[in-house]
Amino acid sequence: MKINRNYFNLQDSYLFRTIAQRVNAYKAAHPDAEIIRLGIGDVTRPLAPAIVDAMSNAVREMGDAATFRGYDDGGVGYDFLRDAIAAYYKSRGVTIDADEIIVSDGAKSDVGNILDIFGGGATVVVPDPVYPVYVDTNIMAGSKIIYVNGNEANGFLPPPDVSENADIVYICSPNNPTGAVFTREALKAWVDWALRVGAVILFDAAYEAFISDASLPRSIYEIDGARRCAIEICSFSKLAGFTGVRCGYTIVPREIVSADGKALFDLWKRRQTTKFNGVSYITQRGAEAALGESGLAQCRENIAYYRENARIIGAALTKLGIRYFGGDNAPYIWLRCPDGLGSWDYFDYLLNEKNIVSTPGEGFGKNGEGFLRLTAFGSRENTEKAAERLLR
């Protein structure tokens, strides 16, 4: 039996599975403990009413032979949703063509699946610390990984300090796990580098809706030259709370072509339509509603709710004298562990002494050691309780 031996190079356990094992062991030993989960970035607010109404109407359509839908047209997303996404970008001053968008079941899937069009053995640049999926999917694909260092000195926004050419570079802004957001100038440096060496930027914009500072870019396409080198991957999970619904999209401008003149959009479309039959009609109607006037207003109320949670956590950390990043334009708080503690040591301390679940920074790379990630996606009640426990 021949198998992909690259899987043998993965760590034995995925980060969040390891966290779950530790938490479950603690709960088994302390069944009466009230655990507050500020670890995994899963939303808790319900879907906006406009989304619920749209999906309910779509269900009724699916129950009527006259309006029933099967596969979507071509498996790339219904025109109504791709048009709505293009209009959403246009409202922010960014022009993209609906025909450059392919709808999927989420950004996480696209981040891994898009490697298919580059083939095995690509050379990729990955920031450290980083969302583990970027690393693990490239290990699975047999890629050569070059790390660039994010640290306190550069605000966890590494510049293109890369001494060799590469095929792909990953940029996540607002960043998971650090909450840091690239400025226009910093992104322009990466775009210029990618154009110079012939690399493709995979820009993860899953948290763009949390940016409140108008001077900060929410799309890579706000940067001159990006349409010739950048693929943008985005999601409805954080904008509209679709973590349990699953819908995202990837934008591949027509200007991006391989060295032999092949349009990457055509390759990505071929990959998706071969291996994926498309997102359900019901889900796509919900996503369309999320981008409508009332849907966006309601979704932004939920985002404001999470921003306030981040403020509450940040205020508690400030009182404790703990240095942290993020929280203002992102739903994540990235804090330096106090008293020189390691990431897993402080994780265990918060779990055992405060009954708070966090995410140890070490799980995001070597530069994450000594840091911890907290999320603002909990309920207000639990966030306030967690802040009170931190201050005890």
Read off the pLDDT of each residue in 12-27 and give the average, rounded to a whole number: 88
pLDDT at residue 294, rounded to an integer: 98
In this prediction, residue 67 has a pLDDT band, given cuts at 50, 70 and 90, of: very high
CA 226 to chain centre: 20
Q: What is the pLDDT of residues 97-131, one digit of tens each?
A: 999 999 999 999 999 999 999 987 899 999 999 99
**CB distance 287 to 356 below 8 Å:** no
Using alpha carbons only, what angle is made at residue 197 by residues 104 and 144, rounded to the nearest 5 degrees? 65
The answer on pLDDT for 180 being more than 90 is yes
- Selected from 3.40.640.10, 1.10.10.10, 3.40.50.2020, 1.10.260.40, the CATH number assigned to the domain covering 51-292 reads 3.40.640.10
pLDDT at residue 85, rounded to an integer: 98
C-alpha pair distances (Å), 235 with each of 107, 232, 273, 300: 5, 10, 19, 15
Q: What percentage of the chain exceeds 90 in pLDDT?
A: 94
Ordered by start, the domain boundaries in the chain are 5-47+294-391, 51-292
Q: Which residues pair with 30 in a beta bridge?
A: none
- Selected from 3.40.109.10, 3.90.1150.10, 2.60.40.650, 3.90.420.10, the CATH number assigned to the domain covering 5-47+294-391 reads 3.90.1150.10
Q: What is the bridge-based pairing of β-strands 324-326 and 332-336?
A: antiparallel
pLDDT at residue 48, rounded to an integer: 98
Read off the pLDDT of each residue in 133-147 and give the average, rounded to a whole number: 96
The answer on pLDDT for 7 being more than 80 is yes
Mean pLDDT of the chain: 96
